[in-house]
Amino acid sequence: MNILHMKYAVEVAKVGSLNKASESLYVALPNISRSIKELEADLGIAIFDRSAKGVTLTPEGAEFIGYAKSILSQIEQVESLYKEGSSRKQKFSISVPRACYISEAFAEFSKSLTREAAEIFYKETNSQRTINNILNHDYKLGIIRYAENYDKFFKAMLEEKGLSYEMVTEFSYKLIMSAESPLAQKESITFEDLKDLIEIAHADPYVPSLPMAKVAKEELPDNIERRIFIFERASQFDLLCKNPETFMWVSPAPQNVLDRYDLVQRECVDNKKIYKDILIYRNGYRLTALDNQFITALCESKRKHL
């Protein structure tokens, strides 16, 4: 397989056009087109669907481009590492669920960075995008979250996509709400106590191989009539502390976060569901020193708060 052809394919996928790739790479259009055709012949797949409007990735092509990006990135890192006079840049990237114990671990991890040049990426999102970030956007680590009853669906998908996985923790969701909320004064909270209040929720549940409608019905049941969907965690906390009618389901939150926003955390006696947080990365990926430093901070935060 020709590495140069791979570079051309990645650029075509990025810009969505052979013509634009030719311009950005300063390579003649016939050379780009011939290289893509030779690459597809070598692989035995169609990487792109071609039309008058440009090109789009086929499912096999999208998978290949994800691998190609990772290979090209590793080549670039090797060249940078051994090229005479080049400086070594610390690199770390992780995609995670919205969770206080993880963000606290990341904050502690950041204190371990040396004065050397560093490039650090921390992305909070759902499990589907975390998996996509590792396969297609050069993220090295991810943490995905799912309900225990979906274990077989996720593990089958991770194995199919060539991803290794390790358990981080399992837990039951807690309720958090304003200290002024009527829930805050209750010793025992039930699902019935929640039905007239406003739930703060994420709008992006995901389980592989299952219809979104089925997943949403289980993760966002019909007993709550009012919901506000917010993707960004700080905005969720701002709303919770200012509106006593709101509540949110969370993995157990550190006390210092609750104090910062004047929130309280309570258990719901009706809630029996168990969730898992799973660390994932590509098969064959070797954890770096920074990766291990983060994992150490993560384990300490987990023991402290969960």
pLDDT digits (tens, 9 = 90+) for 98-134: 999 999 999 999 999 988 888 999 999 999 999 999 9
pLDDT of residue 154: 94
Cα–Cα distance list, 123 to 10, 29, 103, 237 (Å): 23, 37, 10, 18
pLDDT(233) > 60: yes
247 in Cβ contact with 175 (< 8 Å) = yes
Task: At 99, give phi and psi (nearest 5°).
Answer: -150, 135
Average pLDDT over residues 165-192: 94
Which of 22-26, 54-58, 212-216 bottoms out in mean pLDDT, i.e. has the lowest?
A: 212-216
- Count of beta carbons in the 10 Å neighbourhood of residue 16: 14
Mean pLDDT of the chain: 90
> Which tokens go with 198?
């406003």
**Each residue of 17-36: b (16+ CB within 10 Å) or e?**
ebeebbeebebeeeebbebb
> Which tokens go with 60?
């096999």
Which of 107-121, 202-216, 220-234 bottoms out in mean pLDDT, i.e. has the lowest?
A: 202-216
pLDDT of residue 220: 74
Whose tokens are 């409608």? That residue is 213
Beta strand pairing call for 198-201 and 226-229: parallel
pLDDT(93) > 60: yes
- Length, in residues, of the chain: 306
Structural domains in the chain, CATH included, are 3-61 (1.10.10.10), 90-164+276-305 (3.40.190.10), 173-272 (3.40.190.10)
CA dihedral sign, ordered 295, 297, 303, 306: negative
pLDDT band at 146 (very low <50, low <70, confident <90, very high): very high
Cα–Cα distance for residue pair 192/223, rounded to 1 Å: 8
124 in Cβ contact with 142 (< 8 Å) = no
Verdict on whether the full-model pTM lies above 0.75? no
Q: What percent of the chain has pLDDT over 90?
A: 65
pLDDT of residue 216: 67
Cα–Cα distance for residue pair 300/101, rounded to 1 Å: 9
